[in-house]
């Protein structure tokens, strides 16, 4: 199913029948990832006045309640409201959902006890490209990224200089396969978050960060269109389902 997208004066053809899902599913129990020192999410039948709403327990339907934290338990998209005293809702701030995107793969470098992503690495991988959205896949890229407990593990993170560079080249939507763009224990500095959203100066209210994605190794680095699907939560962050589409053709108008 070929579709034509118009972007900055050029037509691009993408095949909507071949989506490349780079989200993690939310599952109850030990198979789901967790972070930020929280227990695994829980999905279980609702109970009403002692009655279990499950067909297996005699109900007419199944109706599960889901207990989770968007930031800790899977792919999520957040807005600047994640780090501001004033409330901003991702459901209100994100109003467009298709973006020209570049996928890059980065091997975080070691600095002391940390593994970090630097400005130089991003700059070299992007070259002259200036995408609206940037997807960062880190290596090693094992499947245990989808079920591990990240708490107290000091995962890799973006240096402030890298986040500044990403902002300055015009990236509005940043996606990464880590629990956070910032260091796990940084005394609340949140340098990369603040740099990307230009906080506390003129806030980039429409810009988003998506964390805990998973990009399978079979998906090559390069240019794509991103469909950033989000659940309509009136919250600073929401579960999301980013989907990539390969570009089949480009036609200059």
Q: What is the pLDDT of residues 14-41, one digit of tens each?
A: 999 999 999 999 999 999 999 999 999 9
Q: What is the pLDDT of residues 145-198, one digit of tens each?
A: 999 999 999 999 999 999 999 999 999 999 999 999 999 999 999 999 999 999
- Cβ neighbours of residue 199 under 8 Å, at least 6 residues apart? 80, 83, 84, 193
Burial class (CB in 10 A: 0-12, 13-18, 19+), 13: middle
- What pLDDT does residue 253 have? 45
pLDDT higher than threshold 90 for residue 65: yes
Q: Which residue has the tokens 């939560």?
A: 233
pLDDT higher than threshold 70 for residue 252: no
Residue 116: how many CB atoms within 10 A of its CB? 19
3-state secondary structure the chain: CEEEEEECCEEEEEECCCCEECCCCCCCCCCCCECCCCCCCEEEECEECCEECCHHHCCCCCCEEEECCCCCCCCEEECHHHCCCCCCCHHHHCCCCEEEEEEEEECCEEECCEEEECHHHHHHHHCCCCCCEEEEEECCCCHHHHCCECCCCCCCEECHHHHHHHHHCCCCEEEECCCCCCCCCCCCCCHHHHHHHCCCCCCCCCCEEEECCCCCCCCCCEEEEEEEEECCCCCCEEEEEEEEEEEEEEEEC
- What pLDDT does residue 228 have? 98
pLDDT higher than threshold 50 for residue 248: yes
| Higher pLDDT among residues 250 and 113, named by residue | 113
- What pLDDT does residue 82 have? 98
When pLDDT is cut at 50, 70 and 90, the band that residue 9 belongs to is confident
Average pLDDT for 53-82: 97
Q: What rounded mean pLDDT belongs to the chain?
A: 95
- What pLDDT does residue 46 have? 97
Which domains, and CATH codes, for the chain?
2-34+69-252 (3.50.30.50)
> Between the CA atoms of 141, 132, 167 and 155, what dihedral angle is there, to the nearest 10 degrees?
-10
pLDDT higher than threshold 50 for residue 77: yes
Q: What is the pLDDT of residues 211-238, one digit of tens each?
A: 999 999 999 999 999 999 999 999 999 9
Q: By percentage, how much of the chain surpasses pLDDT 70?
A: 98
């Amino acid at each position: 199913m070929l579709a034509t997208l118009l972007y900055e004066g050029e037509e691009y053809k993408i095949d909507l029948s071949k989506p490349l899902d780079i989200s993690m599913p939310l599952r109850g129990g030990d198979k789901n990832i967790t972070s930020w020192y929280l227990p695994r999410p829980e999905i279980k039948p609702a109970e009403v006045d002692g009655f279990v709403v499950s067909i297996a327990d005699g109900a007419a339907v199944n109706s599960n309640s889901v207990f989770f934290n968007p930031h800790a338990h899977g792919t999520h998209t957040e807005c600047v409201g994640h780090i501001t005293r004033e409330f901003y809702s991702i459901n209100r701030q994100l109003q467009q959902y298709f973006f020209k995107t570049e996928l890059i793969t980065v091997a975080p470098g070691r600095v002391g006890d940390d593994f970090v992503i630097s400005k130089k690495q991003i700059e070299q991988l992007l070259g002259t490209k200036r995408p609206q959205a940037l997807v960062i896949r880190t290596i090693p890229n094992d499947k245990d990224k989808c079920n591990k407990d990240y708490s107290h593990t000091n995962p890799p993170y973006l240096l402030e200089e890298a986040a500044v560079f990403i902002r300055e080249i015009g990236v509005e939507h940043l996606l990464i396969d880590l629990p956070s763009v910032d260091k796990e224990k940084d005394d609340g500095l949140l340098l990369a978050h603040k740099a990307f959203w230009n906080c506390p100066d003129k806030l980039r209210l429409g810009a988003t960060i998506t964390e805990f994605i998973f990009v399978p190794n079979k998906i090559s680095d390069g240019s794509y269109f991103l469909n950033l699907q989000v659940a309509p939560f009136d919250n600073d962050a929401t579960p999301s389902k980013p989907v990539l589409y390969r570009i089949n053709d480009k036609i200059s108008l």
